Structure 1
Amino acid sequence: MNERITRLVLPRRTVLAGGAAIAGALIMRPARAQVAEGGEGGAGGEGGAAREAGATVSLLTMLGLVEGHVRSGSALYAAGVSDMALVHKQHPSKEIYGDLAPMLEAVGAPGFAPELDAAAAAVMGGKDAATVAAAEAAVLAAIGKAREAAKATPGEVAESVQALVRTAADEYVVGIVDGQVAQLAEYQDAWGFMRVARAQTEALAAVAPEVAAKMAEALAPTDALFPDIVPKDRIAADPKELQGAAARIELARLQLK
């Protein structure tokens, strides 16, 4: 669970819930200037490669990492795997939020550390499904507000999807070796990040339908790599599909430049 972010990321449910508002936010402004080396994001690990991207892309990257972990944790909790669910629910607060907080402040977005803590506490306390879902929804709503505050362009959103897929690819080859689970947490990281990537591709369709369609086509072959949040059988699909998808997404997103 030591994601090597290749460039970017982007989250989900609030985009789908507020499609029109976010579609408007996507086209309000040009891409921001590049972040200086050693800027936002911690050195190495999660957020490290976000230093290579513009400020908006860096913010989207960190938000996407948070959402990916939250979604993985919720899926694990629903599957009855409470110990691993807690690992993923706690990860954003422990490893990501410290770098994310100043990014939120920079765009005037509210912080959401209490929401993250509440989501983890619900799992730790063995709360019922409705309570856990409500806590997750609060985090996702906060992520949505932050994304709106970022006023990302379609190109930044597409770049974030590309980077998220690359990050998932890095995690996957550690988590799955020769089709068998080697490090389950890494596989689950990739599982969550790919769900964010798909959701953001769907959201992008509202403002850049042709590019989003090509991105969705690129993502389709990766479905076979993720049979379940906890794989039960050998996975026959080729992990290289993830890198291939990232490359095809890059080609598609260049149309937005």
Structure 2
Amino acid sequence: MLVTRGLVSGYAGSRVLHEVDVEVPERGVLAVLGRNGVGKSTLVSTIMGLVRPMAGSVTVAGHEVAGSRPDRIARLGVGLVPQGRRVFAPLSVAEHLEIADRAGRKGDWTRERVVELLPRLGERMRHRGDQLSGGEQQMLAIARALLTNPRILLLDEPSDGLAPSVVHQVADVVREVCGAGMSVLIVEQNLRLALSVADRVVVMQKGSVRWDAPGAEFRRNRSRAEELLGI
């Protein structure tokens, strides 16, 4: 569903990603792990077109998108749940959902279906973004992305700052959308969350992929996990 080959990217002439190759399987979950500062969020931003690559390829369902504008990439079916949620403080939950619904691709993910999946949002429709808890903001960010009806969902640190009960809900959402046919790339520091949903695991170090294996193999190889992640 999504493939990067030889992806080089960074900021102001400084390289952060060094020839990164990753593959997100169709209807599957790829977890990208690594310590802070290894380039995980830069990878997500480059795939989404928010950072322009210096070299390499990014394909979505066979379409080359490296260097394309974010709106074109979104129309091809890439949805982003950014780190830190980034909801609009003055807009209500209902307004967030309406904007995403109007701007996105048409498909099975409707406002009704999103609220059924995330019922707390149905109770908070009139509340502004800055009146929501961190967990509610994360659910809103996920709902906003789902309403664009993506083929692949990019989740950048979705558990950041959340209570354990909300982290469990994030995992349930990932399983639900994969069951509905979506692919997911999840960048995470929370190893428990990542490994609970991942079909495949990539570990990054210093802007490069150091480990790429099925999730079950990573879970069995504890010494390798300790070596790469310091856990």
TM-score (norm 1): 0.27
- Structure with bigger strand share is 2
- Structure with bigger helix share is 1
TM-score (norm 2): 0.30
